[in-house]
Structure 1
């Protein structure tokens, strides 16, 4: 089994609002640093972005009423990373939870850097959504 970290952030927005924005791959360049500023295009159910590390293909879970936004990211090498993510109600707001898996061969420093990058992305998402509400 792989090491895992659950990274979560409270967002002062209803779950539906968080889901509609974060679950729309077209919005990724606004909050996900790995594709920040990238042009993202849809081809059927695949979203393609030119990231600093090469072209990536992103596949999100089908729209659902459960707040599940799991997505797979496929690198040009063909290596694919599964990223579980979901939004759940938290009082009048939401809790967004991202599950980070430690991949084989990943050092402690690399795992910590991934966790920090995801935490930063979620903070950016929080700020975008909360400022849009204000």
Structure 2
């Protein structure tokens, strides 16, 4: 077999094999633990939070309101639909006085909301039920519908 015929076959085989490697894409933003440590529960105000950790992805309607920071990781593999393989949410609740009342980090394990960390001044304050709804709805949308890609 001559090299002129072999070269396109080798290139085609290389292209096919490279398309079998998964591609990962991250969407959204969640502040890390070091950044969240700068928020003092009961002292930091709603106006100070964006300068400390950035603006939220969404706002909720809870007692005093809550801010949500959402980050998802999608795996793209060949011709298959992208699959969300990881989701993390940080929920910051505010007291009526405007100070931070609660900082919680949630993850998704086997389709269930799991509290990864929590700092609370009032144990009655919880964003978990609203967060279960938010996290439950994420899997019902495709990434291109949400992010326009």
Using the size of structure 2 for normalisation, the TM-score is 0.30
Using the size of structure 1 for normalisation, the TM-score is 0.32
Please identify which structure carries the higher helix content. Answer: 1
- Larger CA Rg, structure 1 vs 2: 2
Larger RCO: Structure 1 or Structure 2 (Cα < 8 Å, ≥ 6 residues apart)?
A: 1
